[in-house]
Structure 1
């Protein structure tokens, strides 16, 4: 059996990753493909516990500790869920992966992005996505979406606008450096228009 397809969705909070993952899953289901939809952190039982710590812990977490927690979750997630799914030929649709750590812990927390990436590459034994979708949206618009849908912000959503500006700039820099892997989509477009664009990009990979 051929290896499956590993697709990651990236972008700032409020950019529409969940909506697009759902639309892609429905489309792929209709094509008869096995789809594993997951997220980081939180895609495994261990990940659920890590997610509670990194997103909802009431006290401070040092930036390096935060980066290590994400990498630890990623190591377990890839070993126990993502690789087995790819080996049996499934399409893995994943909300956030290594690029998120580079953007949020590297640029957002002002750590060395190269070190952050190297840590996750070691944790995942260099598993790279076949395609990464970057849903790009300016932070002000994203915050408006979150305000309309949230009663409570997690630790990262609650960061100041300058943090989210650095995150966006880091994402765009990643996309510019790896255009063959990363496709940048204007997340301000209607959801169905974005979905059609993604289907056209993914279909030749199936």
Structure 2
């Protein structure tokens, strides 16, 4: 496992605001003119990522093993085609979800979050320099999802979101930066920009 100095990951339960925040950071983060900033997300829009999204939206059903197989295949492509090439060019990657999401969301009584994280470690996927966790209660996040509308997804049930949150608390790295997701986007952007370390 190699820790990359230009690789920043944003995590959080559904409705925490991590996608909005991560995109805003790409816009606002000051970098030298020879450095590119790349916003990336997982699951990706590739063939495996699309299957995962079909599962999340309820179009197809998958066993826990099938979910894991798709996540590993999608991440392998993501690392090979996007993450590593950009990091080798010293570009900055701001990523929406990564190995910690997989562990938190797929972790259950059959396969624990810790075991899933270990599976990802064994694959040799690069470790981000910093992880930002948008901290919000499952109840508050549910209210946000209801306000924004759209179809419900596989993990939207309160019981599942509570388990996901608990899983996150077990597997996030010790140096994770916790952000109060109820703050304004302006305050969150300021907090992240003050915390990001570029080496």
Q: State TM-score, norm by structure 2.
A: 0.88
1:156 corresponds to which residue? 155
1:165 corresponds to which residue? 162
Name the structure with the higher helix share. 1
1:80 corresponds to which residue? 81
Matches within 5 A, 1:10-89: 10-28=11-29, 32=33, 33-42=35-44, 44-89=45-90
2:131–2:177 CA contact under 8 A, matched in 1: yes
1:135–1:186 CA contact under 8 A, matched in 2: yes
Q: State TM-score, norm by structure 1.
A: 0.86
Q: Which runs of 5+ in 1 are unaligned?
A: none
Seen in structure 2, the aligned counterparts of structure 1 residues 163 and 19 have a Cα distance that, compared at 3 Å, is same
Report the more deviating stretch, 46-55 or 83-92: 46-55
Query: 1:131-172: per-residue Cα shift (whole Å, max 9, x none)?
Result: 000001101110111111122122223xx2111111112212
Distance in 1 (CA, whole Å) between partners of 2:193 and 2:158 is 32
RMSD: 2.0
Seen in structure 2, the aligned counterparts of structure 1 residues 119 and 174 have a Cα distance that, compared at 3 Å, is closer
2:139 corresponds to which residue? 140
1:6, distance to aligned residue in structure 2 (A): 0.4
2:181 corresponds to which residue? 187
1:40, distance to aligned residue in structure 2 (A): 0.4
Q: State which of 171, 174, 177 in structure 2 corresponds to 1:174.
A: 171
Q: Which runs of 5+ in 2 are unaligned?
A: none
Query: 1:75-110: per-residue Cα shift (whole Å, max 9, x none)?
Result: 111011100000001110111000001100014x75
1:4–1:90 CA contact under 8 A, matched in 2: no
The number of residues matched between the two structures is 195
1:71, distance to aligned residue in structure 2 (A): 1.4
1:64, distance to aligned residue in structure 2 (A): 1.9
Seen in structure 2, the aligned counterparts of structure 1 residues 84 and 113 have a Cα distance that, compared at 3 Å, is same
2:114–2:171 CA contact under 8 A, matched in 1: no
